[in-house]
Amino acid sequence: MGLFDWFRGGARTAAPFRMPVDDAFALKVLGKVVVVGVVADGEVRPGDRLVLRASAAEVPVTVEGLEAHHRPLQVARRGDRVGVMLVGADKAQVGHGAVLASAAAPDAEPGAAADGGGM
């Protein structure tokens, strides 16, 4: 494995999806929540089923859409700063330190830093 394989979509993107949440917005008219953050590991696409891990709760959600810089995306990968539109969560469930992750992400604990370490 070369030094920059992760940049070309190598082993680093094969990890389960994990994104610490920086902010969240409620779209009350649509009944949806948009969470914003930088993808720490893996990749995500519209239609993916994930879990929102916040404080003591684990909420199953579905990705309805992705957006970066006011442009829709088909996929977001490690290092991308994105907004993720979710179905199945309420803004009140998204607290400080929440993590959006695939169910397979072992270190997707609330409060986990973007580099995989704790606070």
Give pLDDT tens digits for 37-70: 999 999 999 999 999 998 778 899 999 999 999 9
Compute the distance between CA of residue 97 and CA of residue 87 in angstroms, rounded to an integer. Answer: 20
Average predicted confidence (pLDDT) for the chain: 81
Which H/E stretch holds residue 78? Answer: none
23 inside domain = yes
Number of separate domains in the chain? 1
**By the 8 A CB rule, do 102 and 111 touch?**
no
CATH number, domain containing residue 97: 2.40.30.10
107 inside domain = no
Residues of the domain holding 91: 13-101
4 inside domain = no
What is the pLDDT at residue 60? 94
- Region 6-34: mean pLDDT is 78
84 inside domain = yes
Query: What's the whole-model pTM score?
Result: 0.77
Return the ∠ at Cα 90 (arms to 87 and 92), rounded to 5°.
160
**Per-position DSSP letters for 15-50, written without gaps between them:** SPPEEEEEEEEEETTTTEEEEEEE--BSEE-TT-EE
Compute the distance between CA of residue 78 and CA of residue 54 in angstroms, rounded to an integer. Answer: 21
Q: For residue 9, give the 3-state DSSP assignment.
A: coil
